[in-house]
Chain A
């Protein structure tokens, strides 16, 4: 009876294992399909000029298509805009996010920190389009125009909850002995945080920042209300600016430019993938 029982349980175990593996495999299908689709359609467009030249006009594109040539130009205006806005967004979001994370990790139980914690969750769940419209009212209207600044404010708001949480969680899992050792030497809390805890948490926080960047890099909706777009390469922070996801949307809306969607998508996808893998690698390295 015992033997049969064990056999029975082993069979059940195996069935569960197969089922789980099957679903895991199924999960991978759409992911691989997307990657494959983008890769197959996009790789042809990837050339040096695709990364160094701005978007072509519809007219130039149409002429090229008629002549059977590849579409000229590229997405350099979008890449520059995306990088500029990401850098500025990180500039806003990293210090504020780290400060909030430190506050939450150090004061887990008071009323105000619970409120901040709740707000962080709320922010994380806020649809990006709403953030876009709010930033439109807060920044675009007073500045009387769309701008890279407005776009980066929207992106930084989206990055905040991720940075706050990764800072808080990394600080929480540091051994208490680290903080105690610092305080036992007579340090005040601020110095111990700055010299001991934050350096020890650097890996986790940096990983969190990378993930936050990869999270917002593909955001389109909030940029439509804030950055608007621009057909040439521009470094001004107070003027409308382009971004790669905005370009994808523009390409989709212009029959002459549709071919460019895939190159731009491939760029975004590879960028996000690289960021994620880097984050994973760093997290692993720092955890050793």
Chain B
């Protein structure tokens, strides 16, 4: 039965920062388990806003309103406790942000510490190794686990942040332009990694880079002025967009 229920489903999701305007307007879309979905669209169209609705980041700011429903495994997260939602939905930010006061080792385990979960030394070591291996960082940092995470290069830092999110074994991983601050080699590294990761986790990634969307995602969303204009198979959307606005964006006629 479980495979029938989409892992994540937006139902007429709306987000507004101010009373007058909506940054995300009536978005409806269902996302299948263990897929990578790319969210594209010009700057300011509401991609980050939509993404941040999924882990209830907006609830930190009392003025922001989120309406409609967002179902996580069939349950509406808007009526769940933020803490419970965020344990199941990890997030990777645009700028790599390892906790600056923590070592690489502690960064990986920070989710457990922040949730008040105690692990034995053996469990900790195993978790750190497993997570760093899954982001292909283990071999590079296994000798320097006690160094600060901020010593690493940008690409390594971002992989550390992914490892940190994966350590909590989330169902969904949200990534907001995770490679836009990285060089092409680090970007390629992370794209490769995501292909591996989708076996364990469903990924929703905001990207500016159409090539990236094409390479990694099976489905794509195109947003424009807060609306979800088009949602479908990536390959089909790129070769034959059904909406004029998608077409204009994909052919570079829209910023």
A180 within 8 Å of B (CB atoms): yes
Could you tell me if B101 and A186 are in contact, using CB atoms closer than 8 angstroms?
no
Cα of A199 to Cα of B82 in the assembled complex, Å: 24
Could you tell me if B83 and A184 are in contact, using CB atoms closer than 8 angstroms?
no
Could you tell me if B114 and A192 are in contact, using CB atoms closer than 8 angstroms?
yes
A103 within 8 Å of B (CB atoms): no
B164 within 8 Å of A (CB atoms): yes
Could you tell me if A178 and B99 are in contact, using CB atoms closer than 8 angstroms?
yes
A25 within 8 Å of B (CB atoms): no
B95 within 8 Å of A (CB atoms): yes
Known A183-B60, A185-B165; contact A191-B113, beta-carbon cutoff 8 A: yes
Could you tell me if B101 and A185 are in contact, using CB atoms closer than 8 angstroms?
no
- Min CB distance, B58 to chain A, in Å? 11
Q: Give chain B's interface residue range (CB within 8 Å of chain A).
A: 20 to 34
Could you tell me if B57 and A183 are in contact, using CB atoms closer than 8 angstroms?
yes
Residue of B nearest to A189 (CB): B60
Could you tell me if B93 and A181 are in contact, using CB atoms closer than 8 angstroms?
yes
- Min CB distance, A170 to chain B, in Å? 13
Interface centre among A183, A185, A192, A200 (most CB of B within 10 A): A185
Chain B residue contacts of A199, Cβ below 8 A = 99, 101-102
Binary contact track B58-72/A, C-beta < 8 Å → 1, others 0: 001000000000000
Could you tell me if A181 and B86 are in contact, using CB atoms closer than 8 angstroms?
no
Cα of A202 to Cα of B102 in the assembled complex, Å: 13
A233 within 8 Å of B (CB atoms): no
B55 within 8 Å of A (CB atoms): yes
A186 CB contact (under 8 Å) in B57, B102, B115, B161: B115
Chain B residue contacts of A196, Cβ below 8 A = 99, 101, 110, 114
Cα of A202 to Cα of B101 in the assembled complex, Å: 10
- Min CB distance, A102 to chain B, in Å? 16
Interface of chain A, helix or strand or loop or mixed? helix
Chain A residue contacts of B84, Cβ below 8 A = 186
Could you tell me if A186 and B114 are in contact, using CB atoms closer than 8 angstroms?
yes
A182 within 8 Å of B (CB atoms): yes
- Min CB distance, A105 to chain B, in Å? 14
A195 within 8 Å of B (CB atoms): yes
- Min CB distance, B54 to chain A, in Å? 11
For the A-B complex, the count of residue pairs with Cβ-Cβ distances under 8 Å equals: 71
Chain A residue contacts of B165, Cβ below 8 A = 184-185
A177 within 8 Å of B (CB atoms): yes
How many chain-A residues does the 8 Å CB contact rule pick out? 19
Cα of A184 to Cα of B88 in the assembled complex, Å: 10
Could you tell me if B101 and A184 are in contact, using CB atoms closer than 8 angstroms?
no
B97 within 8 Å of A (CB atoms): yes
- Min CB distance, B32 to chain A, in Å? 23
B38 within 8 Å of A (CB atoms): no
Binary contact track B21-51/A, C-beta < 8 Å → 1, others 0: 0000000000000000000000000000000
Binary contact track B76-102/A, C-beta < 8 Å → 1, others 0: 000000111011001101010101111
Chain B residue contacts of A185, Cβ below 8 A = 86, 90, 110-111, 114-115, 164-165, 168
Known A182-B114, A184-B90, A186-B111; contact A200-B168, beta-carbon cutoff 8 A: no
Chain B residue contacts of A184, Cβ below 8 A = 55, 57, 86, 90-91, 165
A68 within 8 Å of B (CB atoms): no
By a beta-carbon cutoff of 8 Å, the part of chain B in contact with chain A is 55, 57, 60, 82-84, 86-87, 90-91, 93, 95, 97, 99-102, 110-111, 113-116, 161, 164-165, 168
| A-B complex: 6 closest residue pairs judged by Cβ atoms | A187-B114, A186-B87, A199-B101, A184-B91, A185-B111, A186-B86
